[in-house]
Copies of this chain bind each other. A is one copy, B any other.
Amino acid sequence: MDFLTNEKLTIVGAAGMIGSNMAQTALMMRLTPNICLYDPFAPALEGVAEELYHCAFEGVNITWTTDIGDALTGASYVVSSGGAARKAGMTRENLLKGNTLIAKELGENIRTYCPDVKHVVIVFNPADITGLVTLIHAGIEPSRLSTLAALDSTRLRSELAKYFHIPADEITDCRTYGGHGEQMAVFASTTLVAGKPLSELIGTSMPVDDWHALQQRVIQGGKHIIDLRGRSSFQSPAYLSVCMIAAAMGGKKFTYPAGVFLRNDEYRDILMAMESEITADGIRYKDVHGTPEEHATLTESYKHLCTLRDEVIAMGVIPPVAEWSKLNPYLAE
């Protein structure tokens, strides 16, 4: 039938709002007939599976299990939203310890049950760090893991469209790099608003104060949804992460930044949002072009992530950088 692949896609955290939406999205996008839903919480997981059975998708083989071994064995693609949800008033960093331990366990399970996995997408916050922890413990090539980082860019696009009263499609090459939320680096010189660089509009047709307020709205985009809807954002992270998996399956190009492991002259031993490309060969990052000021912001963002990473090292969730290669030979210097 009309699927992108027949290989197994495992959705980790499928009982949750993001995971269950991912499953429906992947089925509607006809990524693969073989979708396995995993979650430790059996009743809600069965409820999600029932919902999907009742959709009566044609030609699909939807399975569900609370056994992570069964879930991951044979999986070519894994997408995980399986962290704890962010509650109102909670920062992403509050989640650091709990979610990095979950990421460590996921990595170890990938190593045990599906070391040949083709691509893993990590969605749970702070995804730059949980993705890195998963990568180290999974022992897989860095190109085979990416994290959801597009939401800052799509939120910026949306806010710019609202501000300038133009269709969002007229905002092009709209990108933020580096960390998520407050730590993101906006590259206003490369973002085009109806063909004009955003950097030229700031201070002219858009007062600087308006720009700062808009940036705050982007940073608070997730919190704003919690305030409005009484629940964490789930539709957009689910949809975008499934689009990333689709690209990794060789499907439609994914046109927003993704979190990717970096080791170059500027940024080392970190995973963060970069200009990147996801194909059937995995994720690779590209050079980022911006003004010196924009680069400085990205460097700040990078440093913040290094601090977070070092906290996680101090917690013992991952070893010091020099010892990463013992767990993951692809991370040898």
* Count of this chain's copies in the oligomeric assembly: 2
List, in ascending order, chain B residues with CB within 8 A of A48's CB: 229, 235
Judging by beta carbons under 8 Å apart, are A61 and B235 in contact?
no
Residue contact A50 to B168, C-beta cutoff 8 Å: no
Given known contacts A154-B54, A221-B50, A28 and B229 CB-to-CB distance under 8 angstroms:
no
Task: Report if A306 contacts B (CB, 8 A).
Answer: no
CB distance from A18 to the nearest CB of B (A): 11
In the complex the two chains form, is B44's CB within 8 Å of A228's CB? Answer: yes
The distance in angstroms between the C-alpha atoms of A140 and B55, with both chains bound, is 29
Residues of B within 8 A of A228 (CB): 43-44, 46-47, 50
Q: Are A157 and B56 in contact (CB under 8 A)?
A: yes
Return chain B residues, CB-CB under 8 Å to A61: 167
Q: Mark A202-246, 1 if CB is under 8 A from B, else 0.
A: 000000000000000000010011011110011110011000000
Contacts of A161 in B (CB 8 A): 53
Q: In the complex, which residue of chain B has the Cβ closest to the Cβ of A229?
A: B47
Q: Tell whether A52 is near chain B: CB-to-CB under 8 Å.
A: yes
- Given the interface pairs A28-B28, A56-B157, the reply to whether A51 lies near B236 with Cβ below 8 Å is yes
Q: Which of A28, A234, A239, A256 has the most CB of B within 10 A?
A: A239
| A15 to B54 alpha-carbon distance, docked (Å) | 22
Question: With A25-B28, A235-B55 in contact, is A50–B225 under 8 Å at CB?
Answer: yes
> Does residue A151 face the partner (Cβ distance < 8 Å to B)?
yes
B235, A51: Cβ atoms closer than 8 Å:
yes
**Given A29-B28, A235-B24 in contact, is the A151-B54 Cβ separation under 8 Å?**
yes
Binary flags per residue of A152-180, CB closer than 8 Å to B gives 1, else 0: 00110110010000011100000000000
Total interface residues in chain A, CB < 8 Å: 46
**A48, A61, A158: which has the most chain B beta carbons within 10 Å?**
A158
Could you tell me which residues of chain A, from 57 to 100, have a CB within 8 Å of some CB in chain B? 58-59, 61
Please tell me if A20 contacts chain B, counting CB pairs below 8 Å. yes
Distance to closest chain B CB from A54 (angstroms): 4
In the complex, chain A residues 220-276 whose Cβ is within 8 Å of any chain B Cβ: 221, 224-225, 227-230, 233-236, 239-240, 256
Assess A54 versus B233: contact at CB under 8 Å? Given A59-B169, A239-B28: yes
A51 contact set on B, CB distance < 8 A? 225, 229, 233-236
A225 → B minimal CB distance (Å) = 5
Interface string of A15-35 (1 = CB under 8 A from B): 100001100110011000000
Task: Known A-B contacts: A44-B228, A53-B154, A56-B157. Give 14 more (CB < 8 A).
Answer: A15-B229, A21-B21, A21-B235, A43-B227, A43-B228, A44-B230, A47-B230, A50-B158, A50-B224, A51-B225, A51-B235, A53-B168, A54-B236, A56-B240
**13 A-B pairs (CB sep. < 8 Å):** A24-B25, A25-B28, A28-B29, A46-B228, A47-B227, A47-B229, A48-B229, A48-B235, A50-B158, A50-B221, A53-B161, A53-B168, A54-B236
